[in-house]
């Protein structure tokens, strides 16, 4: 372990990460390679020149936590460095992943994604499973615009994962990019538009049933809607009851709706 | 036991690119047969698992490759297990499974093994005798009970029969247990081994069937519908009971016409007297399986492009009303032909039973016995 001026460590094991190394500490280096402070020479370096520390142990000490997106950056950058031979199995294991070809492929695909998306994936804590759709593409380029839009709209993790998967599947099914991009910059309407194309029959059925339910003579202060819960659908009813008399009155009114339900039986209760 | 030593089909041998034999299995009957069948350059004697370095989940490519690599080793656990349908929330048909291997050489887009198997080879266990010994022990107490034992959970019961002769050996074993029923379940047509065997009349050879259009789109490397039905006719001729599983039903634009034709093909050649029951089920798979399906079969596959929703057991399924309609369509077509067809729904919730059948299986004549949960409790006490 030798204390040096940072400028003397001129080889960079650079990878994009979203963390900052405390300025009061000397910069960790491994055999002349910097593990942090890639843009500046203004610090002292501790170079672990000999075999007293492995590259992996130094990495873990410098970066005790890496998000999946940062791990993708690390893998992409370090795999291209011919001078080092990281033990990927232990690196992945340290950061909570089981090494496999499947995982490496996901990581390689994410590494090719637009920078803004990688930051979004880091910020939202996306994991390998959330990005499985990428593996259906040889290259992620066809998805670039979708990924940029996801990060630009700052959608939530669950919405973004859904959008990415549905948009990816629609592109693979032959839809054009224009068809899968949002008409306006609103996440809700983008999701609805994608859903209507990815699940056309059920989307149309649910919408038309919702319209039918709206036409029924529901008592006042009652909210009724056609609702999908997984593979099941039905009417969700919310009643606000103010007194026993009010309850009786609403029940009576609901009896009239029963007639509507019978009349629309085929429309409502069959797929 | 008089098993015909027919030469295995050449395409079956050609598709298996390597055969690894563990040293502990080298002298087994199966290994000896394989050594006679396969060219020497395909055979590799190994002391450890051939892909022991492999870690974690299989990639789509690795899963596909695993169907081409055969590995023979002894099984070092318990062979006799319950069917995965036996979970809370599902109406289960009391079915027990005997696995003589792991992975299937056929290639169906919806196959649940894609979310289940993480071994990069197709394994066949060489100690079937041990499995039959386990059954013998169970038989000491339960010989007189009605049990159904199937072999088609992790392997197809017949797709490798020309190599293994395992189905034939099980048929022979079951002669001594006339109260038990062995179910061989397949999408292959390799039945010649079974045709000249003496059996106890307690073996159901069953086929998972689908319209030819679905077979061509979703069930790669399997026998055609007519090959499956012809194999079934041969087995009936040889005195076996015949079963059909219209499972998984797969929605596609012409589903009604195609499933109507399928039912008609069955009822033209078979009657309820040919087999104890017929099962119907819908497309279903674990949510995470959709990714490997998409990678391996693309969006043209009807199973991949299906509109699937999470159901109460966590699997993705069609909308419940749609599946009820599909089941009802098939069931009514059978019943209109002959009300004696015993049809049950596989791995379905009670509500779907009621929508499609008007009653739960425990109350239906012909299905009461196989859904008798008191008997299952007894067997579980024995094996768990």
Q: 């008409």: which residue's tokens?
A: A183
* pLDDT values of chain A reduced to their tens digit, one per residue, 271 residues: 788 787 788 788 888 888 877 877 888 888 888 888 777 777 788 888 766 788 999 899 889 999 999 999 999 989 988 888 999 999 999 999 998 989 999 999 999 999 999 999 999 999 999 999 999 999 999 999 999 999 999 999 999 999 999 999 999 999 999 999 999 999 999 999 999 999 999 999 999 999 999 999 999 889 999 999 999 999 999 999 999 999 999 999 999 898 888 888 888 888 8
The total of other beta-carbon atoms located within 10 Å of residue B137's CB is: 12
Nearest CA in chain A to B322: A271
Q: Residues A25, A6: contact at Cβ < 8 Å? A: no
Instruction: Taking each helix axis as running N to C, give the angle between helix B225-237 and helix B255-269, from 0 to 180 degrees, rounded to the nearest 10.
Output: 20
- Cα of A199 to nearest chain B Cα, Å: 6
Q: Do B55 and A269 touch (CB under 8 A)?
A: no
Q: What is the DSSP string of A46-78?
A: EEE-STTS-HHHHHHHH-S---HHHHHHHHHHH
What per-residue confidence (pLDDT) applies to B354? 60
Q: Do A231 and B317 touch (CB under 8 A)?
A: yes
Mean pLDDT of chain B: 87
- Cα of B92 to nearest chain A Cα, Å: 20
Classified as helix, coil or strand, B175 is coil
Q: Residues B15, B104: contact at Cβ < 8 Å? A: no
For B107-131, how does the pLDDT look when each residue is reduced to its tens digit (9 = 90+)? 999 999 999 888 999 999 999 999 9
- The angle subtended at Cα B34 by Cα B98 and Cα B236, nearest 5°, is 50
Question: For residue B59, which phi and psi values (nearest 5 degrees)?
Answer: -75, 170
Q: Do A231 and B318 touch (CB under 8 A)?
A: yes
What per-residue confidence (pLDDT) applies to A139? 93
Between A98, A198, A270, which is nearest B321 by CB? A270
Q: What value does the mean pLDDT take over residues B26-54?
A: 93
Cβ-based contacts of A172 with chain B (< 8 Å): 294, 298-299
What per-residue confidence (pLDDT) applies to B25? 97
| Local confidence band at B141 (pLDDT 50, 70, 90 cut-offs) | confident
- Cα of A170 to nearest chain B Cα, Å: 9
Between B62, B312, B319, which is nearest A271 by CB? B319
What Å distances lie between residue A196 and A145, A203, B270, B296, CA to CA?
20, 5, 43, 25
Q: 């630009």: which residue's tokens?
A: A152
Q: Do B309 and A228 touch (CB under 8 A)?
A: yes
What Å distances lie between residue A227 and A191, A202, A232, CA to CA?
17, 12, 8
Q: Do A135 and B318 touch (CB under 8 A)?
A: no
For B263-294, how does the pLDDT look when each residue is reduced to its tens digit (9 = 90+)? 999 999 999 999 877 999 999 999 999 999 99
Classified as helix, coil or strand, B190 is coil
What per-residue confidence (pLDDT) applies to A6? 78
Nearest CA in chain A to B54: A100
The total of other beta-carbon atoms located within 10 Å of residue A119's CB is: 14
Q: In degrees to the nearest 10, what's the CA dihedral of B76, B82, B87, B91? A: 160
Burial class (CB in 10 A: 0-12, 13-18, 19+), B17: exposed
Report the DSSP pairing between strands B219-220 and B107-108: antiparallel
Q: Residues A41, A6: contact at Cβ < 8 Å? A: yes
Cβ-based contacts of B61 with chain A (< 8 Å): 101
Would you say residue B91 has pLDDT above 50?
no
Classified as helix, coil or strand, B125 is strand
Residue B234: partners with Cβ closer than 8 Å, 6 or more residues away: B191, B195
What per-residue confidence (pLDDT) applies to B6? 66
What per-residue confidence (pLDDT) applies to B27? 96
The total of other beta-carbon atoms located within 10 Å of residue A210's CB is: 16
pLDDT, greater one: B310 or A53: B310
Between B60, B299, B319, which is nearest A202 by CB? B319
Return the H-helix or E-strand segment holding B256: helix B255-269
| Local confidence band at B384 (pLDDT 50, 70, 90 cut-offs) | very low
pLDDT, greater one: B120 or B143: B120
Cβ-based contacts of B119 with chain A (< 8 Å): none
pLDDT, greater one: B357 or B148: B148
Instruction: Cite the DSSP H helix spans in chain A.
Output: 55-62, 68-79, 88-94, 101-111, 115-123, 144-153, 157-172, 177-180, 187-198, 200-214, 244-263, 265-269
| Local confidence band at B152 (pLDDT 50, 70, 90 cut-offs) | confident
Q: 């001729």: which residue's tokens?
A: B237
What per-residue confidence (pLDDT) applies to B97? 82
Would you say residue B383 has pLDDT above 50?
no
Between A132, A172, A173, which is nearest B291 by CB? A132
Q: For an interface test with A, which of B90, B256, B285, B309 has the most A Cβ atoms less than 10 Å from its Cβ?
A: B309
Which of A134-138, A165-169, B62-66, B177-181 has the least mean pLDDT? B177-181
d(CA B331, CA B353): 11
d(CA B135, CA B147): 11
Would you say residue B241 has pLDDT above 70?
yes
Nearest CA in chain B to A206: B319
Classified as helix, coil or strand, A20 is coil
Q: Do B59 and A102 touch (CB under 8 A)?
A: yes
**ipTM tops 0.85:** yes
């Amino acid at each position: 372990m030798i204390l040096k001026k940072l400028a003397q460590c001129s080889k960079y094991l650079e990878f994009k990460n979203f963390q900052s190394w405390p300025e009061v500490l000397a910069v960790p280096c491994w055999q002349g390679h910097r593990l942090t402070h890639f843009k500046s020479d203004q610090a002292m370096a501790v170079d672990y020149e000999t075999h007293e520390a492995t590259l992996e142990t130094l990495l873990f000490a410098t970066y005790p936590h890496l998000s999946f997106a940062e791990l993708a950056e690390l893998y992409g950058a370090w795999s291209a460095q011919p001078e080092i031979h990281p033990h990927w199995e232990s690196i992945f294991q340290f950061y909570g992943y089981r090494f496999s070809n499947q995982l490496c492929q996901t990581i390689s695909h994410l590494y090719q994604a637009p920078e803004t998306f990688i930051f979004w994936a880091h910020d939202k804590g996306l994991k390998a499973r959330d990005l499985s759709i990428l593996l259906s593409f040889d290259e992620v380029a066809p998805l670039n615009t979708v990924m940029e839009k996801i990060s630009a709209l700052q959608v939530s993790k669950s919405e973004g994962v859904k959008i990415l998967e549905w948009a990816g599947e629609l592109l693979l099914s032959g839809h054009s990019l224009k068809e899968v991009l949002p008409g306006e910059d609103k996440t809700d309407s983008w999701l609805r538009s994608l859903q209507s194309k990815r699940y056309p029959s059920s989307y149309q059925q649910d919408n038309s049933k919702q319209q039918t339910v709206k036409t029924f003579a529901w008592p006042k202060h009652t909210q009724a809607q056609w609702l999908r819960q997984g593979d099941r659908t039905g009417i969700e009813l919310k009643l606000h009851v103010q007194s026993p008399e009010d309850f009786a009155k609403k029940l009576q009114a609901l009896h009239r709706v029963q007639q509507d339900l019978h009349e629309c039986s085929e429309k409502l209760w069959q797929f | 036991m008089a098993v015909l030593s027919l030469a295995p089909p050449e395409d079956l041998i050609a598709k298996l690119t390597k055969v690894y034999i563990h040293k502990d299995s080298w002298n087994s009957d199966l290994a000896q047969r394989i050594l006679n069948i396969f060219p020497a350059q395909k055979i590799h004697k190994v002391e450890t698992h051939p892909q022991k370095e492999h870690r974690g989940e299989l990639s789509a490519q690795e899963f596909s490759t695993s169907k081409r690599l055969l590995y023979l080793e002894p099984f070092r656990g318990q062979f006799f297990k319950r069917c995965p349908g036996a979970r809370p929330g599902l109406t289960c048909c009391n079915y027990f499974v005997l696995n003589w291997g792991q992975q299937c050489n056929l290639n169906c887009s919806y196959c649940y093994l894609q979310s289940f198997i993480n071994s990069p080879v197709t394994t066949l266990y060489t100690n079937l005798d041990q499995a039959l010994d386990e059954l013998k022990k169970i038989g000491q107490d339960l010989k007189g009970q009605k049990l159904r034992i199937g072999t088609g959970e992790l392997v197809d019961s017949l797709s490798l029969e020309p190599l293994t002769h395992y189905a034939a050996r099980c048929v022979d074993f079951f002669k001594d247990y006339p109260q038990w029923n062995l179910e061989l379940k397949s999408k292959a047509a390799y039945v010649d081994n079974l045709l000249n065997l003496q059996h106890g009349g307690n073996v159901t050879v069953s086929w998972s069937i689908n319209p030819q259009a679905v077979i061509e789109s979703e069930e790669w490397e399997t026998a055609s519908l007519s090959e499956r039905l012809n194999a079934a006719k041969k087995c009936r001729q040889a005195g076996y009971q015949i079963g059909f599983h219209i499972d998984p039903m797969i929605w596609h634009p012409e589903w009604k016409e195609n499933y109507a034709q399928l039912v008609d093909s069955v009822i033209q050649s078979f009657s309820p007297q040919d087999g104890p029951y017929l099962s119907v089920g819908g497309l279903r798979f674990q949510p995470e399986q959709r990714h490997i399906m998409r990678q391996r079969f693309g969006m043209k596959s009807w199973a991949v492009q299906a509109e699937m929703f999470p159901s109460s057991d966590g699997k993705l399924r069609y909308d419940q009303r749609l599946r009820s309609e599909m089941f009802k369509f098939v069931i009514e077509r059978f019943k209109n032909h002959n009300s004696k067809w015993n049809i049950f729904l596989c791995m379905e919730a009670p509500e779907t039973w009621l929508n499609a059948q008007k009653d739960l299986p425990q109350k239906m004549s012909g299905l009461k016995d196989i859904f008798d949960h008191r008997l299952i409790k007894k067997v579980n006490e024995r094996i768990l």
